[in-house]
Structure 1
Amino acid sequence: METADVIIIGSGQGGVPLAADFAKQGLMVVLFERDLLGGSCINYGCTPSKAFLAAAHAAGRVRQAEDLGIYAQVEVDFPAVMERVRLIRARWHQGVQKRLHEAGVRVVYAQAYFTGERTVTGNNVTVQAPLVVINTGTTAATPKIPGLAGTPYLTNRNFFDLQKLPPRLLVIGGGYISLELGQGLARLGSETQIIVRGERVLDHEEPDVSETLAEALKRDGIQIHFHANTQKVTYNDNLFTLELDNGQQLQGEALLIATGRHPNTSALNVAATGVELNEQGYIKVDEQFRTTCENIYAIADVAQQPAFTHVSWEDYRRLKAILHGENRTRNDRVLAYAIYTEPQVGRAGMTIADAHKKGINARCVTLPMSDIARAIEWGHDLGFYRMVIDTETDLILGATLVGYEAAEIVHVFVSLMEAGATWQLLEKSVHIHPTYGEALPSLARGFVE
């Protein structure tokens, strides 16, 4: 058995900088990785998906430019689109390899599992260390639909390996992955249908967010089947057939499964080191990422943190500070995220419903995109801006933006909220005309009595 100063399991966006920082401090760091360095973000998440959507949304905007008096035929070289995606992914992956190598991190390519207290084994290498960090992330969950197993269905894991554009795409799931990738393939030329179990897409968002996105998908020619469950999958002669519980049969050359995630903990044998899991299989941690075994920590989505790269990276900064004696916690920053459909969804902090559940006397104002000069001029009038405030303190509690490049604009609210600003500060700001950001002070003026 070998010894090290630090063991890190998983090379996601939290594990890699932790490993590199510890190694640069002169510590012996061993990182176990069972798959590709860089975790889901670089290999089958943010990096490839946004490179893919760059092409898809470019095509979509051209097709929808008729309202501007622009008429064009769009020709998509799908193999070239996907080759560019894979080249960008490979470049980022190589960057992670270089970073770890230059820092002096020892990488063991193997499925890691605990064989004793703070003792980890993988590929015939057993290492014990006084500090262990688990950063193994999550994997696409596969529903137990009769006939699905053994078919060449897609998840975000293998989606970016597509070589040919499927003429017809079927998508099971109504979350952000299904919407981003489903809209993306539709804009590149696939006839797309989405099967949603409930009454709306993005059911974790506010209802009018769901309604806006459903309308956007409809404009792209996407058909959504609500209140529909897939009872059976058949795959014959390169064709998927789905039987729905409403009696419908849908067919397509490709099937994308995007029905949620589950934590990568089943192979870790955490019981051997006294680490406990919750009922969903996530690692139990306290507010400072401590597991139930002393000096073992878990960060990011395997610890049921919000499944976003920027959260994982901030968890790295949080844990590093905690280990140096600082008082940081797992929820000590404003949570913001985005959905990269078109229009985009940008979210920061609380919704009005979140605030009321917490017992806060809150109110909100909403400004339609159709009232924003820049949106009208550019033909991006689908969506809205919304801000939530605490009526007793005037502090900004949250924002929901649905519109063109909302993921960029929402950062205004992130900074204001981190600074403890009130809505009056935004209201008296002078933003440039004509911009999308110009609408934010106008939004705040909705609170003026």
Structure 2
Amino acid sequence: MPNTQYDALIIGSGQAGNPLATALADAGQRVVLVEENLLGGSCINYGCTPVKAMLASAERAHQLRTAADYGMQAQEPAVDMAAVVARKDEIVQAMRNGVRSNLTQERPGITVLHGHATFVGPRTVEVLLAGGKTQQLTARKVFINTGTRAAVPDIEGLQEVPFLTTTQLLDLKELPEHLVILGGGYIGLEFSQLYRRLGSRVTIVESHRQLLEREDDDACIGLTRVLEAEGVEVVLGAKVRKVSHKEGTYTLTAQTAAGERRIRGTHLVVATGRRPNTDTLGLGAAGVQTDEKGYIQVNARLETNVRGVYALGDVHGGPQFTHISYDDFRVVRDNLLRGKRRSAKQRPLPYCVFTEPQLGRIGLNEDQAKEQGVSYRVATMPVRTIGRAREIGRTEGFWKVLIGDDDRLLGATVLCAEGGEIMSMFQLMMAGRLKYQQIQDMVLAHPCWAEGLNNVFTQLKRP
């Protein structure tokens, strides 16, 4: 078995590993990247890109269905699910090709291998290549970027039925008649609205008392009302005890506050969380430590307990967002290549749920501020008061801001059309440490969504 030595070995072609490979190669290092599945990681292949592409199709269907609200004749869209999936696949393939070109054609210092990597020593791995051969690789530094996969809850009968993961659902070329979604988190909500707007009957089954249990009650209730108004059935506080499948029908037996309930549908997708892809890496041979869930333990520089071995992206736990994975790359790049001391701790955490309206979040919400004992004032503004919202007929939701005793923004929750973009304006306000009075009196173009910044702070009060 040949042993090949490199300066850097990257396991996994995700949103942290790919840019790190190019940065290291540009710095003159010999880099090898090993990918077991598809180049591009979860974001490109079965996360952000495909889901948002299909959400765009669902939005067009919704516009046809609601055209009468804008003075035009409404019609029920004739959805060609195979064409929806084909459009998604074309976008994904183009981005995947871009990753391959960037790694293999534009950077001669990078070697890409397709296969499964297993540690046989602290900085040595054995790669089972796609053709069945094996190759041993040794590097001065190793970077693990293997991501996560769908977690399957321990429910009687679930492993015996042909349920779908969210990845498999994205490739389904026939529209489900009745889609049951097990899990009411961010992923489950986006899929619920997507398939409801395309024409499926949709039921969300969530074990907690509300959707998005980490959000304030007003955000959870507001988004639940939006989904229910579009025809999504939401079953809360439902502890599923058993799943069965017979003659094309799934049956979920759940315990609810009202007693036992049976929920039936033609398709079942499990969206109850993720688990790290670490169990087949042979981390024990490298001495790399994980927590009880299998996530790799790292310090502020993303280095594991083994010197020279790093973990980037979802595989080390914490918030699982593409932009956080990409920032992991920047942390490692700056520490190793630019002589800067940069930490992965205490960084901003912006995120957005891409329902319509979107839910954008930055900084503290009220629950978090109370838990941390942070003094704050709060103001909530209904979206319907914004001129832009009334003009284009997108009046659902609210903006909520938390202001500290120093008159600076502690956090914002934005349930609104273009909520992610608006949230980013609040993030810039926080990054610049601007006081709310500076934004309140700023001249902003009319009639833009941003005008709401002039008004949202007017009703500040103690909770």
Q: Same fold (TM over 0.5)?
A: yes
Q: Could you tell me whether the CA contact under 8 Å between 2:23 and 2:333 is conserved in 1?
A: no
Equivalent residue number for residue 97 of structure 2: 94
Q: Could you tell me whether the CA contact under 8 Å between 2:378 and 2:401 is conserved in 1?
A: yes
Secondary structure of the 2:142 match is strand
Secondary structure of the 1:347 match is strand
The CA distance in 2 between the partners of 1:168 and 1:226, in whole Å, is: 18
Structure 1 residue 226: deviation in Å? 1.2
The CA distance in 1 between the partners of 2:185 and 2:284, in whole Å, is: 33
Instruction: Trace 1:2-41 onto structure 2 (pairs within 5 A).
Output: 2-41=4-43
Structure 1 residue 69: deviation in Å? 4.0
Equivalent residue number for residue 336 of structure 2: 323
Secondary structure of the 2:143 match is strand
Equivalent residue number for residue 157 of structure 1: 167
Aligned pair partner of 1:364 in 378, 381, 396: 378
| Amino acid of the structure 2 residue aligned with 1:3 | Q
Q: Could you tell me whether the CA contact under 8 Å between 1:343 and 1:403 is conserved in 2?
A: yes
Equivalent residue number for residue 120 of structure 1: 125
| Amino acid of the structure 1 residue aligned with 2:62 | G
| Amino acid of the structure 1 residue aligned with 2:154 | K
| Amino acid of the structure 2 residue aligned with 1:116 | G
| Amino acid of the structure 1 residue aligned with 2:298 | V
Instruction: Trace 1:25-424 onto structure 2 (pairs within 5 A).
Output: 25-73=27-75, 74-102=77-105, 103-104=107-108, 105-123=110-128, 124-245=134-255, 246-324=259-337, 325-391=339-405, 393-424=406-437
The CA distance in 2 between the partners of 1:248 and 1:448, in whole Å, is: 43
Task: Point out where structure 1 has 5 or more consecutive residues left out of the alignment.
Answer: none
Cα deviation 1:121-171 (Å, max 9, x = unaligned): 111111111111111111110112222224332222212111100111111
Task: Point out where structure 2 has 5 or more consecutive residues left out of the alignment.
Answer: 129-133
Secondary structure of the 2:86 match is helix
Structure 1 residue 442: deviation in Å? 0.6
Q: Could you tell me whether the CA contact under 8 Å between 1:86 and 1:160 is conserved in 2?
A: no
- Equivalenced residues, count: 448
TM-score by length of 1: 0.96
Structure 1 residue 332: deviation in Å? 4.9
The CA distance in 1 between the partners of 2:241 and 2:68, in whole Å, is: 40
Equivalent residue number for residue 131 of structure 2: none
| Amino acid of the structure 2 residue aligned with 1:41 | C
Q: Could you tell me whether the CA contact under 8 Å between 2:179 and 2:203 is conserved in 1?
A: yes
The CA distance in 2 between the partners of 1:446 and 1:319, in whole Å, is: 43
Structure 1 residue 231: deviation in Å? 2.0
The CA distance in 1 between the partners of 2:284 and 2:177, in whole Å, is: 47
The CA distance in 2 between the partners of 1:410 and 1:198, in whole Å, is: 26
TM-score by length of 2: 0.93
Structure 1 residue 106: deviation in Å? 1.2
Q: Could you tell me whether the CA contact under 8 Å between 1:300 and 1:306 is conserved in 2?
A: no
- Classify 1:249/1:359 alpha carbon distance in 2 versus 1 (closer, same or farther; 3 Å): closer
Q: Could you tell me whether the CA contact under 8 Å between 2:179 and 2:200 is conserved in 1?
A: yes
Structure 1 residue 77: deviation in Å? 1.6
Secondary structure of the 1:184 match is helix
Identity among equivalent pairs (%): 39
The CA distance in 2 between the partners of 1:214 and 1:71, in whole Å, is: 28
Structure 1 residue 446: deviation in Å? 2.9
Structure 1 residue 358: deviation in Å? 2.8
